[in-house]
Amino acid sequence: MSWRLALLFLALPFQAAAQSAPVVADLTYWGYKDGFHVLTAHSEILLSPSGYRITLTGHTTGLIGLFFRARWHALADGNWTDDGVQPLHFDNQGVFGGHPRRVALQFAGGDPVIRTLNPVDDGEHTPVPPYATRDSIDTLSVTALLVHQVATLGTCQGEVRVFNGRSVEEMSIVRGGADYLAATSRSLYSGPTLRCDLHSHVIAGFFIGDDSPKSRHFDDSVWLATIFHGVPALPVRTTATTHHLGHIVLYLTAAKRRDIDTRTAKTP
């Protein structure tokens, strides 16, 4: 399972002018490939006026789960800036195809410092030179950036460098326009959305022995819509391009907003 998958899971959008207290949201997604349910993911999100904290757990399921077993737990936190995010920590660990893996990053002055990388050499990626990670953000913080932009600017746009501990991507964020999602039994949401398109190009940490365009260029989308009264738009559908499973479509299947005192995590 590619570590890129984490960036397309969900963070709660934030609007500084309208919200002064922390908010917690529980979101569940089912991922499909070629019509088959292949993974399930759950995200618990705490957002405060100053920053964000996101946890993501997931696992493969169905026939895919029998042949490629994967489970993961990821966490990211950071602060808001005027029109973006400033990540502080990122930790992604799990078991993929029977092999334990972990990446832990700490950001200092906007640049990531690797605290844990297991395995140190995974045998899949070429080395990443230090200069390539400058001014980058982690994968979960990309999602926080998307929803923050939509909540505060009413659009999604810009360029960002993304580092997952193994590879680095240059990502272009483009407003895709207004889409209407038809009702489907796979999702709890149907109706108007704003689509954000993500165009990514791997610039360092390439897969060894694979120089095909499809392994270095990725085009994905996130659809955002209002599902909680008084809360800015949340992603209700996404596409994700993964190394092991290929192209996946993820649908929002459950969503719950909770008061801050119903969970034990601290505000960032």
Question: Is cis: bond before 119, omega within 30 of 0?
Answer: yes
- Phi and psi for 150 in degrees, rounded to 5? -65, -40
> Residue 27 corresponds to which tokens in the numbers above?
């979101």
Q: What confidence tens digit (pLDDT) does each residue in 134-144 have?
A: 999 999 998 88
> Residue 31 corresponds to which tokens in the numbers above?
């991922």
Please give the Cα distance from 34 to 264 (Å, whole number).
39
In a domain, 147, yes or no: yes
Please give the Cα distance from 184 to 211 (Å, whole number).
37
User: Is the predicted pLDDT of residue 263 greater than 70, yes or no?
Assistant: no
User: Is the predicted pLDDT of residue 188 greater than 90, yes or no?
Assistant: yes
Domain that holds residue 71: 3-262
User: Is the predicted pLDDT of residue 215 greater than 80, yes or no?
Assistant: no
In a domain, 268, yes or no: no
In a domain, 106, yes or no: yes
In a domain, 49, yes or no: yes
In a domain, 51, yes or no: yes
Please give the Cα distance from 38 to 25 (Å, whole number).
24
In a domain, 267, yes or no: no
Q: Could you tell me the CA-to-CA distances from 215 to 29, 167, 244, 254 in Å, in that order? A: 25, 12, 11, 32
Reference 24, options 266, 228, 259; nearest CA is: 259
Is the CB of residue 27 less than 8 Å from the CB of residue 42?
A: yes
In a domain, 113, yes or no: yes
Q: What confidence tens digit (pLDDT) does each residue in 141-187 have?
A: 988 898 889 888 999 999 999 999 999 999 999 999 999 999 999 99
> Residue 85 corresponds to which tokens in the numbers above?
């995010």
Q: What confidence tens digit (pLDDT) does each residue in 240-259 have?
A: 988 778 899 999 999 998 87
Of the candidate ranges 3-17, 55-69, 136-150, the one whose mean pLDDT is the lowest:
3-17
> Residue 125 corresponds to which tokens in the numbers above?
């990626």
Q: What confidence tens digit (pLDDT) does each residue in 98-130 have?
A: 889 999 999 988 899 999 999 998 888 889 998
In a domain, 216, yes or no: yes
Share of the chain above pLDDT 90, in %: 54
pTM here is: 0.86
Number of domains the chain is built from: 1
